[in-house]
Amino acid sequence: QVQLVESGGGLVQPGGSLRLSCTASGFTFSYYAMSWYRQAPGKERDLVARISAVGGQTTYADSAKGRFTISRDNAKTTVYLQMNSLEPEDTAVYYCCATYQTWARRLDYWGQGTQVTVSS
């Protein structure tokens, strides 16, 4: 059974930091690109950061560049999102996503989300 379990969300003051974790099970983690998305109330779910399955190439949304860092530990089947200099605009539910893609098909697995609230 595929599972993605996020943790590390919470309430933080502006300028603060949080580290989100997503631990995966039920599939071959190292084969999958891993991403963090977020969805604020009334808005669409947007990509925040992505790390490739091989090579660890990273991609960031403009809003995350310079503040957020995505990393993965294949031995622990876990992906992380270190978030620094948080702003109220970062308030959202953050979702972990595992993607396996070939020329023939694409598979996405999602976690249940973790709430991040940035407020004084």
Kindly indicate the confidence band of residue 27, based on its pLDDT and cuts at 50, 70 and 90: very high
Q: Which two tokens stand for residue 51?
A: 């790390």
pLDDT score at 54:
82
In whole angstroms, give the CA distance from residue 2 to residue 38.
Answer: 21
Residue pLDDT, tens place only, 81-114? 999 999 999 999 999 999 998 889 999 999 999 9
Ramachandran region of residue 96, left (φ > 0), alpha (ψ -120 to 50) or beta?
beta
pLDDT score at 98:
98
Residue pLDDT, tens place only, 40-59? 999 999 999 999 998 789 99
Element (H, E) at 94: strand 92-101
Residue pLDDT, tens place only, 8-22? 999 999 999 999 999
Cβ proximity of 107 and 100 under 8 Å: yes
Q: Which amino acid is at 95?
A: Y
